[in-house]
A and B are shown apart, each in its own frame.
Chain A
């Protein structure tokens, strides 16, 4: 028995030592030409399929690695970067995440790429979509673009205002002022409560409620579906709209001066007012819900519950992005066909907007559209590996077969497509494309705010102190704005 134990322990040590040694030793043959580390779990299968198709076309072997969707893969990526077999292509979410790869020398500046198809691809990335730390360098090829705003079901619009109303409603709501939008919200609220027939004006045009509720409109319990426990919905995304009043892109926000941060006072106050309005007319499972302890309950006021409330036609609007498409579809396969985006409006005055390229009016008719993820090339890879990476990215983003994977299998809105002739099966993608065509899009400056500022600091403060509070006053709006400004300056 003792002898067996001895043999066993020696074997164990031998196995461990050999594992350690092989981990350190250099593996001459890796069995692939290109290793892609993909940070977006949702597109794992599609990217794998694309890589296989690429292999069939070119004979190059591509290895892809993705974690499950919704999981942060950054720690895994760091571990891979410490190993001998580093990925050649990896993903970067925003310029906050770029910092470590830039400082560590892991990421290749695409403006230094050799002339050719790849250089052209990199040069053609629209200015506002670049992953850049100083405005001139460029570190990533966009995965795609995503956008968010108030999602509305056009069938519900018809149910409220009569058949055909939805044909002009989306445009009129887009052009409506904040005051018009608020009167729409309050009118819908009293229509739900007591069937009060009113006429509201949107973009100068009158809309009158139907005197009798239909099957669909009688399902409404509130105006907005709100996920009170999800800090990112109001911390990151809603606040981003306000940040656009001062910053034009993430790099701008990352280089913010104290003066610019102070200029956020007006926009952040407007943000607080919108959040107050939104959370005062929230829809619940069986009726209107109000702010309080239940409002931030993580088991009932989370993303899935909010999506479900909207998908079951209990709310007129939900502030979400096109990524919610499949989640909405899960609850209601019909509703996804008739969805549209409407801009999130803020009660801004032109004095609040200090950006050179935007006006309050422009902000209120635009939706946020931005790049959620970039493909970056590992600067520490060999020239041969880099070339393989560039070839693959060119194929994925310009060839017909590559683009098919992007638009169909990954269900992405391509960042570089000719938007005039793209029609997808996805109503929300189409809506984003329309906004892009009209040029009414905002950037994502929150990605350049100090790390943790938007969601984990401002969002957290709002969740802890305000979403549980029934009445908000002008003092609260000021306090929210001041807190955001003070924290930004402190965390910078």
Chain B
């Protein structure tokens, strides 16, 4: 029964992946192997990897991606958990809010990016926070024209987009916490912050594991929104954009270099998410 699935998995995931790793050690140019007839002739060892780490644009993108991911993961989790706690505490209308907050998740990244580009450049910069706007907040104007501001613009966008989905996971987690724990804590005189810290957070650990995993991986891999908002201008390339653009930065197009960057990218995401999974899993508590 599982053989067809295995064949499919092998054909569309494993094979291309292995091919990709092999190509990252060659001077593949997209349509031919430079310096020889076949793969073996154009084998360049670790040159592509060394060049990737010598590439200023790649290193920039690397740092920027990490900064962005840290800020975005924190922001998404705070907002998602806040929304989830708000909705679970509602007596009525929770379903409507849940739907509304979930909706942005259904939009595609590129379309969303262009909508937000308009919002940042016109609504934020002129109508709301501009010199003649509602309240003048210089930080929120022309956010796409500055390296740091653009990072926060991207965080605002992805928080708006992903928080709804993560909220659903948190709501499920919150609903699974037995109410008697809170009642017992109240009788013992615990403040609401203490209840949050010693009951909600530990009991929510399974949900936190999943949400952290999803947000970490998605933020690392972010591409469409980055291209739509700034297209990498002002040094705002994220890693995925950098890999995509490598073939445009070089002539003949250096697909080997791009592929090496992609392999580094894969190792990085795998390492970070595996470490995160083992760290958060260890803190999950089992109810007996």
Does residue B105 face the partner (Cβ distance < 8 Å to A)?
Answer: no
Residues of B within 8 A of A460 (CB): 233
Check A103 against B122 for contact (C-beta < 8 Å): no
- A12's partner among B1, B4, B144 (CB-CB below 8 A) is B4
Q: How far is the CA of A452 from the CA of B252 in the complex (A)?
A: 12
Given the interface pairs A6-B1, A293-B141, A298-B121, the reply to whether A16 lies near B8 with Cβ below 8 Å is yes
Does residue B285 face the partner (Cβ distance < 8 Å to A)?
Answer: no
Check A293 against B145 for contact (C-beta < 8 Å): yes
Does residue A9 face the partner (Cβ distance < 8 Å to B)?
Answer: yes
Residues of A within 8 A of B249 (CB): 451-452, 456
Q: How far is the CA of A81 from the CA of B252 in the complex (A)?
A: 15
Does residue B134 face the partner (Cβ distance < 8 Å to A)?
Answer: no
Identify the closest chain A residue to B33 (Cβ): A104
Given the interface pairs A20-B11, A464-B234, the reply to whether A451 lies near B122 with Cβ below 8 Å is no
Residues of A within 8 A of B30 (CB): 78, 100
Check A96 against B31 for contact (C-beta < 8 Å): no
Does residue B20 face the partner (Cβ distance < 8 Å to A)?
Answer: no
Q: How far is the CA of A99 from the CA of B34 in the complex (A)?
A: 11
- Say how far B136's CB is from chain A's closest CB, in angstroms: 14
Does residue B251 face the partner (Cβ distance < 8 Å to A)?
Answer: yes
Check A100 against B4 for contact (C-beta < 8 Å): no
Q: How far is the CA of A96 from the CA of B253 in the complex (A)?
A: 10
Give A46-87 interface residues, CB cut-off 8 Å to B.
78, 81-82
Query: Quick one: CB contact mask for A6-18 with B, threshold 8 Å, 1 for yes?
Result: 1001101100100
- Say how far A24's CB is from chain B's closest CB, in angstroms: 13
Q: How far is the CA of A265 from the CA of B145 in the complex (A)?
A: 28
Given the interface pairs A9-B5, A103-B29, A464-B234, the reply to whether A299 lies near B252 with Cβ below 8 Å is no
Residues of B within 8 A of A262 (CB): none
Check A81 against B31 for contact (C-beta < 8 Å): yes
Residues of A within 8 A of B141 (CB): 293
Check A100 against B252 for contact (C-beta < 8 Å): yes
Given the interface pairs A100-B251, A299-B118, the reply to whether A9 lies near B4 with Cβ below 8 Å is yes
- Say how far A373's CB is from chain B's closest CB, in angstroms: 17
Does residue A123 face the partner (Cβ distance < 8 Å to B)?
Answer: no
Q: Which of A100, A106, A293, A468 has the most CB of B within 10 A?
A: A100
Does residue B142 face the partner (Cβ distance < 8 Å to A)?
Answer: yes
Identify the closest chain A residue to B29 (Cβ): A100
Does residue A296 face the partner (Cβ distance < 8 Å to B)?
Answer: yes
Does residue A270 face the partner (Cβ distance < 8 Å to B)?
Answer: no
Given the interface pairs A103-B32, A299-B117, A464-B233, the reply to whether A13 lies near B8 with Cβ below 8 Å is yes
Identify the closest chain B residue to A450 (Cβ): B251
Chain B residue total in the interface (Cβ 8 A): 28
Query: Quick one: CB contact mask for B141-155 with A, threshold 8 Å, 1 for yes?
Result: 110110000000000
Residues of A within 8 A of B233 (CB): 460, 463-464
Does residue A355 face the partner (Cβ distance < 8 Å to B)?
Answer: no
Check A16 against B251 for contact (C-beta < 8 Å): no
Identify the closest chain A residue to B145 (Cβ): A293
Identify the closest chain A residue to B229 (Cβ): A298
Does residue B248 face the partner (Cβ distance < 8 Å to A)?
Answer: yes
Give A284-335 interface residues, CB cut-off 8 Å to B.
293-294, 296-300
Q: How far is the CA of A451 from the CA of B8 in the complex (A)?
A: 40
Residues of B within 8 A of A16 (CB): 8, 11
Given the interface pairs A10-B4, A463-B233, the reply to whether A299 lies near B251 with Cβ below 8 Å is no
Check A296 against B32 for contact (C-beta < 8 Å): no
Residues of A within 8 A of B34 (CB): 103
Check B4 against A96 for contact (C-beta < 8 Å): no
- Say how far B232's CB is from chain A's closest CB, in angstroms: 9
Does residue B125 face the partner (Cβ distance < 8 Å to A)?
Answer: yes
Identify the closest chain B residue to A95 (Cβ): B251
Q: How far is the CA of A105 from the CA of B37 in the complex (A)?
A: 11
Q: How far is the CA of A78 from the CA of B5 in the complex (A)?
A: 31
Check B117 against A96 for contact (C-beta < 8 Å): no
Q: How far is the CA of A10 from the CA of B248 in the complex (A)?
A: 41
Query: Quick one: CB contact mask for B1-34 with A, threshold 8 Å, 1 for yes?
Result: 1001101100100000000000000000111101
Given the interface pairs A293-B141, A464-B234, the reply to whether A99 lies near B4 with Cβ below 8 Å is no
Q: How far is the CA of A104 from the CA of B249 in the complex (A)?
A: 18
Check A451 against B121 for contact (C-beta < 8 Å): no
Q: How far is the CA of A149 from the CA of B209 in the complex (A)?
A: 60
Identify the closest chain B residue to A456 (Cβ): B249
Q: How far is the CA of A20 from the CA of B12 in the complex (A)?
A: 11
Does residue B250 face the partner (Cβ distance < 8 Å to A)?
Answer: yes
Give A96-116 interface residues, CB cut-off 8 Å to B.
96-97, 99-100, 103-106
Given the interface pairs A293-B141, A293-B142, A296-B145, the reply to whether A78 lies near B7 with Cβ below 8 Å is no
Check A300 against B252 for contact (C-beta < 8 Å): no
Query: Quick one: CB contact mask for B240-255 with A, threshold 8 Å, 1 for yes?
Result: 0000000011111100
Check B4 against A13 for contact (C-beta < 8 Å): yes
Residues of B within 8 A of A10 (CB): 4
- Say how far A82's CB is from chain B's closest CB, in angstroms: 6
Residues of B within 8 A of A12 (CB): 4, 8
Check A99 against B5 for contact (C-beta < 8 Å): no
Residues of A within 8 A of B145 (CB): 293, 296, 464, 468
Q: How far is the CA of A460 from the CA of B57 in the complex (A)?
A: 14
- Say how far B60's CB is from chain A's closest CB, in angstroms: 13
Check B122 against A300 for contact (C-beta < 8 Å): yes
Identify the closest chain A residue to B32 (Cβ): A104
Check A293 against B125 for contact (C-beta < 8 Å): yes
- Say how far A54's CB is from chain B's closest CB, in angstroms: 28
Identify the closest chain B residue to A103 (Cβ): B252
Residues of B within 8 A of A452 (CB): 248-249
- Say how far B126's CB is from chain A's closest CB, in angstroms: 8
Q: How far is the CA of A78 from the CA of B117 in the complex (A)?
A: 31
Residues of B within 8 A of A20 (CB): 11
Q: How far is the CA of A91 from the CA of B8 in the complex (A)?
A: 36
Check B252 against A99 for contact (C-beta < 8 Å): yes
Check A451 against B4 for contact (C-beta < 8 Å): no
Q: How far is the CA of A96 from the CA of B248 in the complex (A)?
A: 11
- Say how far A169's CB is from chain B's closest CB, in angstroms: 38
Check B253 against A100 for contact (C-beta < 8 Å): yes
Identify the closest chain B residue to A231 (Cβ): B233
Q: How far is the CA of A298 from the CA of B227 in the complex (A)?
A: 13
Given the interface pairs A103-B29, A106-B31, A464-B234, the reply to whether A299 lies near B122 with Cβ below 8 Å is yes
Identify the closest chain A residue to B125 (Cβ): A293
Closest 7 CB pairs of A and B: A100-B252, A104-B32, A451-B251, A293-B142, A9-B4, A13-B4, A81-B31
Could you tell me which B residues sit within 8 Å of A by CB distance?
1, 4-5, 7-8, 11, 29-32, 34, 117-118, 121-122, 125, 141-142, 144-145, 233-234, 248-253
18 pairs, A vs B, C-beta closer than 8 Å: A9-B4, A16-B11, A78-B253, A99-B251, A100-B31, A103-B32, A296-B145, A297-B122, A297-B125, A298-B121, A298-B144, A299-B118, A300-B121, A300-B122, A452-B248, A456-B249, A463-B233, A464-B145
